[in-house]
Structure 1
Amino acid sequence: MAIEAVIWDFGGVFTSSPFEAFNRLEAERGLPRDLIRRVNATNPDTNAWALFERNEIDAARFDELFLEESSALGHPLRGAEVLPRLNGELRPRMVSALKACKQHFKVGCITNNVVSMHSPGQDEGQRKAGAMAQVMPLFDAIIESSKAGVRKPDPKIYLMMCELLGVQPEVCVYLDDLGINCKPAAGLGMKAIKVVDVDQTLAELSGHTGLNFDAELTA
């Protein structure tokens, strides 16, 4: 079945993974590597991250809950220390790939985000010329968890995007840097790509779409 749409995650796809920044914070604080990932993975539907990304709590409450959850794992860390690390560095080749896809397919973005001064695109530099400002206008449709009240990996959010784009899941490619978010997309019939690095991602995306990104990016 021919591909009609390419659906993208944002952080960790168009920007470097926030987990890289989290690891740097952990090293700076003398905390176990991947502690923040462990906190995020504990009670993933009801923890501080889940509530914040669905906009069910504010930043102050997130700060408190994250501290409680990290303390329960034996390493207290305030949520307020984590939020500034969310912003990553833009990956220009991925942006170019999006532009190439847009010439041939519908393109959408599903992002788990938070209503916070530290969420992607919200600091002064990014508002002026940053990742969100450069990338978001390119999409035909955008779903933000903090506005939709639903977050990945809930299958509902993928179906919401399909409805917005007017396509069936079977004709979509989905890209995300987290396997837990790729799994429901694949379960719905999408061609899921777990983003590990740019070269691997563009190779897999080329295989699904038939586009030669080396040619597209140098044209």
Structure 2
Amino acid sequence: MSADQAIKAVLWDFGGVIMTSPFDAFRRYEDERALPRDFLRRVNSTNPHGNAWARFERGEVDAAAFGELFLAESTALGHAIHGRDVLALISGEVRPRMVAALKTVKTRYRIACLTNNMPHGHGPAMTGSPDRAKAVAEVIALFELVVESSKAGVRKPEPAFYERACMLLGIAPTEAVFLDDLGINLKPAAAMGMRTIKVTDPDQALRDLGALIGMEL
């Protein structure tokens, strides 16, 4: 059996894959306030499994607690930033090309969304304009399954997150392709046997995916 025949499901990250990455907004915020480049990402990568970001994505704290925890963590690293400022930056825009690819892939493969998200209005359908919320909801509705960290109580890159997705789909990790924009999230999936694609831009990602599953995307 060829590799493409063995694949049963394509698993997609949301922010940075289906949506534009929040990192661009992070950098604009840093530039406007003369902060070091990628400072916000440094806060989020310090104590990555137990910091404010991780705890919020697992649903362990609410938005108010996240704001204060992030303020303490950023202050400890040299620049005081309240978490509410960060939450205002995480809403991206839907990438039409990726949505079109979702619909095409769905004709032959099962599709699921694996997202680290935040509770209380900061998940896949994050707050924003009504039109934006509607567009996000329409994309979410395309997936057979959506696994959200804030509801599952585990998050990428914790192996239990990927195990939960495969269990709910009834597939083995070796029968899945997973797309994410962060290498740290792809490593555990690859170690479990998933084929992985790091998304740097939609064109590259869809070329790589098309080659794996034998579809023109």
| TM-score bracket relative to the smaller structure | over 0.9
Paired amino acid for 1:40: N
- Classify the secondary structure of the residue corresponding to 2:74: helix
Secondary structure at the aligned position of 2:41 is classed as helix
2:200 aligned with 1:196? yes
Amino acid at match of 1:93: R
Judging changes above 3 Å, is the alpha-carbon distance between structure 1 residues 84 and 116 closer, same or farther for their aligned structure 2 residues? Answer: farther
- CA distance in 1 between partners of 2:27 and 2:199 (Å): 18
C-alpha RMSD of the superposition: 1.4
- Aligned-pair distance for 1:177? 0.6
Question: Aligned to 1:173, what secondary structure does the other structure show?
Answer: strand
Aligned to 2:52: 48
Do the aligned partners of 1:126 and 1:133 also contact (CA within 8 Å) in 2?
no
Shift of 1:174: 0.1
Q: Which runs of 5+ in 1 are unaligned?
A: 214-219
Find the counterpart in structure 2 of residue 121 from structure 1. Answer: 125
Q: How many equivalent residue pairs?
A: 213
Distance 2:157 2:102 in 1: 22
Partner deviation per Cα, 1:108-155 (whole Å, 9 max, x = no partner)? 111000013344423252576544212111111111000110000011
TM-score by length of 1: 0.93
| Greater Cα offset, 125-134 or 107-116 | 125-134
Q: TM-score, normalised by structure 2?
A: 0.94
Asked if structure 1 preserves the Cα contact closer than 8 Å seen for 2:13 and 2:113, the reply is yes
- The 2-side partners of 1:110 and 1:54 are apart by 13
The match for 2:81 is: 77
Cα distance change on mapping 1:74 and 1:124 into 2, 3 Å: closer
Q: Which residue of 2 aligns with 1:96?
A: 100
Give the whole-Å Cα distance in 2 for the aligned partners of 1:47 and 1:108: 27
What one-letter code is carried by the residue in structure 2 that aligns with 1:15?
M
Cα deviation digits, residues 1-47 of structure 1 (max 9, x gap): 42110001000001110111111111111111101100010000100
* Cα distance in 1 for residues equivalent to 2:18 and 2:89: 16
Q: Secondary structure, in 3 states, of the residue corresponding to 1:207? A: helix
The CA deviation string for residues 46-100 of structure 1, in whole angstroms up to 9 with x for no partner, is 0000000001011111111101111111111110101011110111010111111
Match of 1:167 in 2: 171
* Structure 2 residue 4 is matched with structure 1 residue 13: no
- Counterpart of 1:217 in structure 2 is none
Say which SS state the counterpart of residue 164 (structure 1) adopts: helix
2:208 aligned with 1:209, yes or no?
A: no
Q: Which residue of 1 aligns with 2:189?
A: 185
Q: 1:152 aligns with which of 136, 150, 156?
A: 156
Partner Cα distance (2:179, 2:33) in 1: 32
Hey, what's the Cα distance between the residues in 1 that align with 2:128 and 2:16?
21
